[in-house]
A = this chain, B = another copy of it.
Amino acid sequence: MAVGLHGLPSLAPVTGVRLGTIAAGIRKKDRRDLVLIECTPGTHAAATFTRNRFCAAPVIVAREHLAKTAPRALLINTGFANAGTGEPGLQDARACCGALAERLGCRADEILPFSTGVIGERFPRDRIIAGLPACIAGLSENGWAEAAHGIMTTDTVPKGSSRKTHLGSRTVTVTGITKGAGMIRPDMATMLAFVATDAAVAPAVLQACVSAAVDASFNRITVDGDTSTNDACVLLATGAAGNPVIDQTGGEAYAALLNAVTEVFTELAQAIVRDAEGATKFITVEVQGGRSEADCLAVAYTIAHSPLVKTAFFACDPNWGRILAAVGRAPIGQLDVGRVTIHLNEIRVVHNGALDADYTEPKGLAVMRLPEIRIGVDLGAGTASARIWTSDLSHDYVRINAEYRS
């Protein structure tokens, strides 16, 4: 499926970051499932993690390690999420960090662990530790595409993005990979995105950059409303580009970096929606004319999470009444239905709360048959706006999630 994705784009290496990917037989045979991302000493890292209270053991450990020190390596496995595994799961995550640290000659808290897969089952730490030597042997600055494959689960395609931008006389690179297709409604960042830049950035500024970029990208997508237990988005900055260190969020250099990072994050976030489980449509929901951004987001997510709206899009059925009903039940303080306007791409379907006089079913149908559709809602109440991206609900979503563990 993967709406509008045509192969992995070219991913430029980031000086100071090496990646190694192997098939460690963690859950299935002959499937790349273990990825090591090593970064040069002096690299800063900033990250965002899930707000799901049942966050996974690796999320707890990664958060703890990152608060102490800059990382030397990220270790990512698929197959098991190591979530809902209690104290034994925490011990498993720490054991993997310790084993890798020993082999890399660093401290255990310089390792950040990440996991994705089935929630609740015990984590096979031995298979992961056994795979470490091969991962280390394979480390390469050209390993991004391999790693994009290595972190896939129900994804049908690998996902990556790369940008170059100029900071004064220096060219810096931002390259990243991500995975995710279901259990996607990031509240902080989505499971899992790993992005690196060779820009020199002070740690606090890097964190500000991640938070701002995540808010405009990963925090604006939803597949099924199910916020994962394992969401994590990490941005590494090696400093190898040699630009003057960006140490404040004002200024041109920060703006250029933030722009490049946001572009990469947005391309990655959209790639998740394009490859959403069973997706046949890539849907942009734009709400404007709200009293607040929060109101606009509430309306946008109510539309994006409506199973009836999502199945209508799957069916290419311009059943705009379902969009209108979703707007009407959105949890916002006030709504004057007589001022609401709804567009499907450029076709105005609802005007002043009722069917537009010029609308015809064939016009709506022509839009609904497209693979990429914009739902535009104007609440007619203010000047705030918000935009999110989502997918449809198809037979395959049910099939994939009914068969997930079999």
Write the residues of chain A forming the contact surface with B, with a CB cutoff of 8 angstroms.
Answer: 51-55, 81, 83-87, 89, 118-120, 182-183, 185, 187, 224-229, 305-308, 311-312, 314-315, 317, 319-322, 324-329, 335, 337, 350, 352-355, 393-395, 397-399, 401-406
Q: What are 18 contact pairs spanning A and B, CB under 8 A?
A: A53-B335, A53-B337, A54-B324, A84-B324, A84-B325, A84-B355, A86-B352, A89-B354, A120-B320, A226-B308, A227-B328, A307-B307, A311-B397, A311-B401, A312-B402, A317-B402, A395-B398, A398-B398
> Considering the chains assembled together, what is the distance between the CA atoms of A125 and B253 in angstroms?
66
Of A84, A324, A327, A337, most buried by chain B (CB within 10 Å of CB) is A84
Question: Per a CB cutoff under 8 Å, which of B120, B327, B394 touches A324?
Answer: B120
Of A54, A86, A118, A226, most buried by chain B (CB within 10 Å of CB) is A54
> Considering the chains assembled together, what is the distance between the CA atoms of A394 and B393 in angstroms?
11
Cβ of A182: which chain B residues have Cβ within 8 Å of it? 308
- B83 to A398, Cβ gap below 8 A? no
Cβ of A404: which chain B residues have Cβ within 8 Å of it? 312, 315, 317, 319
Cβ of A118: which chain B residues have Cβ within 8 Å of it? 319, 321
Cβ of A54: which chain B residues have Cβ within 8 Å of it? 324-325, 327-328, 337, 353
CB distance from A236 to the nearest CB of B (A): 27
Cβ of A353: which chain B residues have Cβ within 8 Å of it? 54, 84, 86
- A321 to B83, Cβ gap below 8 A? yes
- A224 to B401, Cβ gap below 8 A? no
How many copies of the shown chain assemble into the complex?
Answer: 2
Known: A321-B120, A401-B311, A402-B315. A355 touches B183 (CB 8 A): no
- B393 to A226, Cβ gap below 8 A? no
Known: A226-B329, A321-B120, A328-B229. A354 touches B84 (CB 8 A): yes
Cβ of A51: which chain B residues have Cβ within 8 Å of it? 329
Cβ of A83: which chain B residues have Cβ within 8 Å of it? 321, 324-325
Extra 17 A-B pairs, beta carbons < 8 Å, given A86-B354, A226-B307: A51-B329, A53-B335, A54-B337, A83-B324, A84-B325, A85-B354, A118-B321, A183-B322, A226-B325, A228-B325, A311-B398, A312-B401, A315-B404, A315-B406, A317-B404, A394-B398, A395-B399
Cβ of A337: which chain B residues have Cβ within 8 Å of it? 53-54
- A395 to B393, Cβ gap below 8 A? no
> Considering the chains assembled together, what is the distance between the CA atoms of A187 and B331 in angstroms?
11
- B85 to A227, Cβ gap below 8 A? no
Cβ of A228: which chain B residues have Cβ within 8 Å of it? 325
Cβ of A227: which chain B residues have Cβ within 8 Å of it? 325, 328-329
Cβ of A229: which chain B residues have Cβ within 8 Å of it? 321, 324-325, 328
- B307 to A405, Cβ gap below 8 A? no
Cβ of A311: which chain B residues have Cβ within 8 Å of it? 397-398, 401-402
User: Who on chain B is nearest to A187 by CB?
Assistant: B329
Question: Per a CB cutoff under 8 Å, which of B308, B325, B327, B350 touches A401?
Answer: B308
Cβ of A354: which chain B residues have Cβ within 8 Å of it? 84-87, 89
Question: Per a CB cutoff under 8 Å, which of B183, B308, B321 touches A325?
Answer: B183
> Considering the chains assembled together, what is the distance between the CA atoms of A319 and B51 in angstroms?
21
> Considering the chains assembled together, what is the distance between the CA atoms of A395 and B312 in angstroms?
14
Cβ of A350: which chain B residues have Cβ within 8 Å of it? 84
CB distance from A63 to the nearest CB of B (A): 15
